[in-house]
Amino acid sequence: MAEVAGLFQERDTEIRMIVTGVLAGQHTLLGPPGTGKSARVRELTGRIEAGVYWEILLHKFISPSAIFGPVDLAALTARGEHRQVLDGHATRAHVAFLDEIFKCSAAALNSMLAFLNERIYHPESGGAPIGCPLISAVCASNELAEDDTTAALYDRLLIRMEVDYLSEPGSFEGLLRGAAGVRRPAGRTTVALADVQHAVAVEVPVVDLPDMVIDAVRDLRADLRGREIVSSDRRWVQAVRLLQAAAWLAGRAMVSVDDLAVLVHVLWDSPVHRGTVERVVRGYLSPDDRRLADLGDEVDRIAAELDKLVAAGDAGRLRNWAIDQNTAMATTVKRLGSIRDAADHAQHVYARMLSEALGVSPDKIPMLGGRR
């Protein structure tokens, strides 16, 4: 992970989540376009020795045979046998990259669902389903599921990440140097396919899930349902395996509450809920984050009511509501203001430490609070 992260700036979290997804035997969805998704997936999964990597760009008219294998014309013409050429297609892949996943054609959709969920393929000619060695698929899309047809496909993709464009000047400079062919050498650590398969099938499933983590997951589910953010039972079960994979990757034999951090990338459906899910999940990692999440929810509640009343155009009702909410909002602003002041002071001390003790130029000092 460190070697691949060294080749792709600001992608540490994404790389770690893809690896965690592989170890959990789950699938990852990445977006938006133009962020080098396929290059990272190839570089990362290409380090699995003897692993078969396969990728395809899907579209609305793609045939199932283009994904799972065409008819063997030689066998058909010579012996009248109707069989498919499976080698070189999804049916033989250990890791797959499926670009524009939600453009999968209606004709191929059911086969794709079975492939992702049960790891089987039903041959076009009929007969017994064919088992597929797929460990994990990484999918990409410029859009999310838009209808019931693709909603089932969306639910199969446990990890969901919106990958932002590069934000730090140094990272962008590294991107440009890479485009010009100036890249620092990287090691080439590899792992045997058999070791990956053993971890997925044997080692990760036996990572212990203590009662305190089960209680936290139960409470987290209730918190999100109270905010009308609901995930299917299947996703919660799959999320447990992801927690086990995160703990295993960290070298632990037991899941800890800190592993809940991976659920930030699991429990949202709509991007508008992503911030809420992150606040709520972070609240289970530390009491301070929990209080911040509650304050953020209070601000969101008041903002929604304000928007509704302004749109209604009833000035009298709006005035009375504002009087009622004044104390609550003033208290929230005061609390957030104290946090901001503390953050500004911490940033100032951090900047002095870097500049006066380590000689870091002021324009190179990271603004950890997001404000300058």
Q: What is the 3-state secondary structure (H, E, C) of 196-241?
A: HHHHHHHHHHHCECCHHHHHHHHHHHHHHHHCCCCCCHHHHHHHHH
Q: What is the DSSP letter of 71?
A: B
At a CB cut-off of 8 Å and minimum separation 6, what does 119 contact?
Answer: 131, 132, 133, 134
β-pairing, 28-31 vs 136-140, is parallel
Q: What is the 3-state secondary structure (H, E, C) of 138-152?
A: EEECCCCCCCHHHHH
Secondary structure element (H or E) that encloses residue 325, with its range = helix 315-352
At a CB cut-off of 8 Å and minimum separation 6, what does 212 contact?
Answer: 257
pTM of the model: 0.74
Token couple for 269: 């459906």
Picking from 13, 117, 21, 130, the residue whose alpha carbon sits closest to that of residue 68 is 130
Identify the pLDDT of residue 372.
40
Picking from 97, 110, 100, 111, the residue whose alpha carbon sits closest to that of residue 149 is 110
pLDDT in 10s for each residue of the chain, 372 residues: 988 888 887 788 999 999 999 999 999 999 765 556 788 899 999 999 999 999 999 999 999 999 999 876 666 566 666 678 889 999 999 999 999 999 999 999 999 999 999 999 998 777 889 999 999 999 998 887 777 778 889 999 999 998 765 555 554 455 555 554 545 545 689 999 999 999 999 999 999 999 999 999 999 999 999 999 999 999 999 999 999 999 999 999 999 999 999 999 999 988 889 989 988 898 888 767 667 777 877 888 888 899 999 999 999 999 999 999 888 888 888 888 888 887 888 888 888 888 888 888 877 777 665 444
Report whether 256 contacts 213 (CB < 8 A): yes
Picking from 122, 111, 209, the residue whose alpha carbon sits closest to that of residue 153 is 111
Rounded CA separation 42/93 (Å): 13
Identify the pLDDT of residue 145.
75
Token couple for 152: 């089932």
Identify the pLDDT of residue 134.
97
Identify the pLDDT of residue 124.
79
Identify the pLDDT of residue 67.
95
Token couple for 176: 């440009």
Identify the pLDDT of residue 88.
92
- Please count the other Cβ atoms lying within 10 Å of the Cβ belonging to residue 120: 15
Alpha-carbon distances, residue 262 vs 20, 104, 223, 243, 269 (angstroms): 9, 28, 17, 7, 15
Token couple for 215: 């209680």
